[in-house]
Chain A
Amino acid sequence: MTIHPPERIWWKPISGAERVYIAAALLFTLVTFFLMPVWHFLGAQNPTMQTYRVDKAEYLQKVTAWADKYKVGERAGMPVVEPPPGGDVYLLARTFQWFPVIKLKAGQTYRVHVSSSDLVHGLSLQPLNMNFMVIPGYEYILYVTPTQKGEFGIVCNEFCGLGHHLMVGRLIVE
């Protein structure tokens, strides 16, 4: 019984039946491990990011300046910003808003800068369901290639206060 001490010597050969399954399981677990580094070389979706330390106020300035420079319209009181194809994009998370509304061209790879000017937020691009964390004081760059056209929602999926569910943004791809 499992509540009694085992035999004096319990380090004994393992039966064939157990060996077969353990070997199969071990093979599977090794494959699932090695697929991760392999996908960094063969796959197109990796959470690699280039990260830099940034001052929160400084990031806010950068985003606002960039938005002013490339503004093409307005939506829900926020600027709609269309940067040059393949250029830098700046996205700011703050309670309770994703700033600004961004317009991109399909098939181009953009350098998307992300950070927060206050708390930790969760960047959730829908309905693609692509998710990243956003941490104040850290600016990171994602190289993103939109491959579909349409209007996409940016939802916050990390609790950031009592207005967390108000936080929804927009990404437009043409």
Chain B
Amino acid sequence: MTATPGPERQPERVPFGQALLDDFFLLTALGLLIPFLSYLVWGLLDLGSVPVLPGR
């Protein structure tokens, strides 16, 4: 590693996109949060706001 010339003499910074996809805790958090909010919470709000039939 010491004396080899070549394109990777200075280690390139890992691109931001790659760093994001390497972060498995971030992916896990988003993977849990998005369905929880978009599917479950929103769905429960919809069902919870079904009105009682007006008048008799």
A contacts B directly in the complex (CB < 8 Å)? yes
Interface residues on B, range: 10 to 19
Q: B12 and A9: CB pair below 8 A?
A: yes
- Residues of A within 8 Å of B15, CB to CB, are 9, 11
- Residues of A within 8 Å of B14, CB to CB, are 8-9, 11
Q: B50 and A52: CB pair below 8 A?
A: yes
Distance in Å: Cβ of A10 to nearest Cβ of chain B: 7
- Residues of B within 8 Å of A8, CB to CB, are 8, 11-12, 14
Give complex CA distance A8, B19 in Å.
11
User: Footprint of A on B, CB under 8 Å?
Assistant: 8, 11-12, 14-15, 17-18, 50-54
Give complex CA distance A51, B46 in Å.
11
- Residues of B within 8 Å of A82, CB to CB, are none
- Residues of B within 8 Å of A4, CB to CB, are none
Identify which of A11, A51, A139 gathers the most chain B CB atoms within 10 Å of its CB.
Answer: A11
Give complex CA distance A52, B55 in Å.
12
Pick the residue among A9, A10, A11, A138 that contacts B50 (CB under 8 A).
A138
Q: B53 and A52: CB pair below 8 A?
A: yes
Does A75 reach chain B (CB closer than 8 Å)? no
Q: A9 and B53: CB pair below 8 A?
A: no
Per-position binary interface string of chain A over residues 1-16, scored 1 when its CB falls under 8 Å from any chain B CB and 0 otherwise: 0000000111100000
